[in-house]
């Protein structure tokens, strides 16, 4: 195999992937209506085997990847998770488990810790069990999550919680943060729902209004002050939704710049949402990761700025935000090379403004949410 790393970094083109997201499975006991998994996830049948995942980890580490996230679906569904964690530790990765906590118990927490897992992040849906049940499609999950959050901390990990905010729970942010405080959380990511995958399907029922968002930011700020006054060290990270920004994020730090996702079936993607784009992605079962990263048409498609259209092409900010998110551009305009409509310089920005206007309508909260499920997913497999 050619060693691309030296020449690529030396000429300032492409560096190594630093982050590897291993989406071990799309299977999940929950049905969150904001799930970012692809709508047609049911079409993915042949998950990588344990040996194939170990080969992926080995190749990625040899290329220079240092951060490894295990996600899904629910990664705990995989019985070989402990084996993969141990192998990742042996290879020298810093490992993070991104989980709903369904499938976790004390014995498994200890097994994962013994295997060398560095970090666990548990998602919460709400403070109110009824809202949590409605959004995730499970009446039992909420209590389980709370118990496992405590167990993770007792096992010596920091308690890191992730709460996806949307119009059904954002008004309860005060009680959500109070719950995290009571649990003894060390860090809480208050991540406003980003609109990909199933969340895009449910956008009308999930996107909060500007007023809700501003109130939530003020609540977070009040809590930060209150926590500081008490000397309580619980970090609150508030992630603003793209739809209320006027410049896009530099998604994934730029296409094929630092981030690589391997999907459950071995598809290698520049981001977890990219398989919805109208292009072919290579598979780790068929090609070495190094060749995929440096040489594949898919990974080179939106690198640099040659692919950009106006207004990005001549914009002074194009190296800062790399024109935004390709998946968002495609979902909103049908053209993955378009300027991300989140940008207020984009000719398509009116699409974002229209979504904000719709979200201002209180009646939207009554909108039924489609839970992520395999039966519904089959419809998209056929489309």
Asked whether position 200 contacts ligand FES by CB under 6 A, the answer is: no
Q: Which does 248 bind (CB under 5 to 8 A by kind): ligand SF4, ligand FES, none?
A: ligand SF4
For ligand SF4, which residue of 43, 245, 315, 351 counts as binding (CB under 6 A)? 315
Map the footprint of ligand FES across residues 236-255, applying CB under 6 A: 251-252
Q: Which two tokens stand for residue 73?
A: 């679906």
Measured from the CB atom, is 71 or 209 closer to ligand FES? 71
Taken in order 83, 373, 99, 16, the sign of the CA dihedral is positive
- Binding of ligand SF4 by 52 (CB under 6 A): no
Between 109 and 252, name the residue whose CB sits nearer to ligand FES: 252
Cβ of residue 270: shortest distance to ligand FES, in angstroms? 6
Task: For the chain, list the strands marked E by DSSP.
Answer: 19-23, 67-71, 94-99, 119-124, 160-165, 187-192, 235-239, 259-262, 268-269
Give, to the nearest 10 degrees, the angle between helix 106-115 and helix 141-154: 50
Binding residues for ligand SF4 restricted to 226-255, rule: CB under 6 A:
247-248
124 binds, among ligand SF4, ligand FES, none (CB under 5 to 8 A by kind): none
Whether residue 325 is annotated as binding a ligand: the answer is: no
- For residue 156, cis peptide bond before it (omega within 30 degrees of 0): no
Binding partner at 317 among ligand FES, ligand SF4, none, C-beta below 5 to 8 Å by kind = ligand SF4
Residue 315 in marked binding region: no
For residue 256, give the nearest of 63, 45, 118 by alpha carbon: 63
**327 appears as a binding residue in the annotation:** no
Which is nearer to ligand FES, 151 or 325 (by Cβ)?
325
Strands 67-71 and 19-23: parallel
Partner in contact with 323, chosen from ligand SF4, ligand FES, none, beta carbon below 5 to 8 Å by kind = ligand SF4
Q: Exactly one of 75, 197, 323, 336 binds ligand SF4 (CB under 6 A); which one?
A: 323
Using CB under 6 A as the binding rule, whether residue 341 contacts ligand SF4 is answered as: no
Question: Crossing angle for the helix pair 326-333 and 349-359, nearest 10 degrees?
Answer: 80
The residue to which tokens 């042949």 are assigned:
46
Q: Which is nearer to ligand SF4, 152 or 312 (CB)?
A: 312
What the block records as the tokens of 175 is: 């009680």
Element (H, E) at 275: none
Q: Which residue has the tokens 């305009």?
A: 333
State the nearest-atom distance from the C-beta of 242 to ligand SF4, in Å.
Answer: 12
Residue 326, contacted partner among ligand FES, ligand SF4, none, CB below 5-8 A by kind: ligand FES
Q: Tell the residue number behind the tokens 């901390």, with chain if given.
A: 153
Q: Kindly tell me which residue out of 40, 242, 265, 340 binds ligand SF4, with binding defined by CB under 6 A.
A: 340
Radius of gyration for the alpha carbons in the chain, expressed in angstroms and rounded:
21
Closest CA to 13 of 234, 211, 293: 293
Residues 6+ apart with CB under 8 A from 220: 173, 177, 190, 236, 238
Residues lying near ligand FES in the complex (CB under 6 A): 251-252, 271, 273-274, 325-327
Give binding residues for [4Fe-4S] cluster as ranges: 28, 32, 35
């Amino acid at each position: 195999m050619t060693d691309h790393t030296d020449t690529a970094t030396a000429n300032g083109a492409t560096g190594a992937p630093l982050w590897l997201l291993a989406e071990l499975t799309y299977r999940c006991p929950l049905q969150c209506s904001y799930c970012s998994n692809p709508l047609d996830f049911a079409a993915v049948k042949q998950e990588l085997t344990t040996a194939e995942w170990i080969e992926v980890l080995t190749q990625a580490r040899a290329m220079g990847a240092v951060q490894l996230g295990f996600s899904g679906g629910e990664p705990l569904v995989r019985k070989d998770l402990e084996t993969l964690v141990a192998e990742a530790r042996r290879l020298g990765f810093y490992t993070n488990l991104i989980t709903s906590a369904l499938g976790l118990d004390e014995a498994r927490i200890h097994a994962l810790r013994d295997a060398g897992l560095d970090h666990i992040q548990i998602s919460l849906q709400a403070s109110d069990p009824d809202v949590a049940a409605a959004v995730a499609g499970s009446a039992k999950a909420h209590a389980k999550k709370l118990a496992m959050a405590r167990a993770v901390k007792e096992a010596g990990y920091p308690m890191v919680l992730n709460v996806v905010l949307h119009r059904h729970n954002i008004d309860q942010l005060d009680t959500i943060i109070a719950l995290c405080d009571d649990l003894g959380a060390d860090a809480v990511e208050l991540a406003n729902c980003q609109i990909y995958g199933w969340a895009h399907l449910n956008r009308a029922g999930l996107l909060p209004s500007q007023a809700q968002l501003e109130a939530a930011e003020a609540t977070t700020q009040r809590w930060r002050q209150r926590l500081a006054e008490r000397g309580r060290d619980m970090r609150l990270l508030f992630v603003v939704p793209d739809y209320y920004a006027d410049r896009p994020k530099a998604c994934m730090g730029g296409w094929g710049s630092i981030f690589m996702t391997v999907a459950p079936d071995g598809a290698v993607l520049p981001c977890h949402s990219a398989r919805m784009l109208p292009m072919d992605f290579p598979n780790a079962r068929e090609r070495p990761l190094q060749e995929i990263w440096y040489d594949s048409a898919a990974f080179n498609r939106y690198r640099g700025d040659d692919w950009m259209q106006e207004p990005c092409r001549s914009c002074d900010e194009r190296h800062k935000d790399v024109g935004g998110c390709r998946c968002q551009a495609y979902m909103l305009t049908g053209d993955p090379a378009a300027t991300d409509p989140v940008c207020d310089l984009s000719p398509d920005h009116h699409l974002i403004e229209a979504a904000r206007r719709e979200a201002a309508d209180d009646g939207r909260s009554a909108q039924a949410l489609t839970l992520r499920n395999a039966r519904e997913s089959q419809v998209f497999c056929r489309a």
